[in-house]
Amino acid sequence: MAARTREKATYEDLLKAPEDKIAELIDGELYLAPRPRVRHAKIQSQLHGQIERRFSNPAGGWLILMEPEVHFDQNENALIPDLAGWRLERLSLTDDEVWMDVVPDWICEIPSPWTAAYDRRIKMPKYAHYGVRHAWIIDPPNCNVEVKRLEKGNWVEIAVLRADEPFRAEPFEELEIVLNVRWPSPSAP
């Protein structure tokens, strides 16, 4: 994950990024990452499907999206979480938005070898700064789900769960989530 270093990047630079990259704008830096691999995409789509089926309806009260473009600070920061969710009572949508400018209530990142440090050191503090209330980090190499809650502006780790076993985690604890993917073999000590 490399930041392009030159004059301050703008949203126009983000729009000009190659289509085979995920482009994000953070504090005037344009970050480009390769598209996710198959395991990442499977985790993302399975998680989206399960949460979306249960919670994306008027009774469930959520909008769940894969890779939404979320704008903070009038285009100064444009991030793309792997998954994001908003409580419906906070939204007024036409369903024709190009990006979201409402802070998500929940995000999920699935770090890859290229994005792991970036997701943790750059994106997670930004999410906290803007008030995202819940975050999950699904870590395929370690086969776990880190569940975090924002308290007084800082991430508090609520749980670290096995990703290869059924799990429940806030803010969707009513749902037992099962991810049927081939997890990497554990690393040798």
Kindly give the confidence (pLDDT) of every residue in the chain, 189 residues in length, as a single tens digit, with 9 standing for 90 and above.
555 556 889 889 999 999 999 999 999 899 999 888 888 889 999 999 999 999 987 778 999 999 999 998 876 899 999 999 999 988 887 777 778 889 999 999 999 888 889 999 999 999 999 999 999 999 998 999 999 999 999 999 999 999 999 999 999 999 999 988 777 766 544
CA 22 to chain centre: 13
pLDDT of residue 105: 97
**Cβ atoms of residues 161 and 185 within 8 Å:** no
Count helices and strands in the chain by DSSP H and E runs? 4, 11
The pLDDT assigned to 84 comes to: 97
> Which pLDDT value is given to residue 189?
46
Token readout for 38 is: 């198959």
pLDDT for 5 equals 52
CA distance 94 to 47: 25
Distance (Å, whole) CA 131 – CA 145: 21
Nearest to 82 by CA among 106, 56, 100, 108: 108
Q: In the chain, where does DSSP find H-type helix?
A: 11-15, 38-55, 116-118, 124-130
Q: Indicate the pTM of the whole model.
A: 0.89
Rounded Cα distance between 21 and 151, Å, is 33
**pLDDT for residue 34:** 87
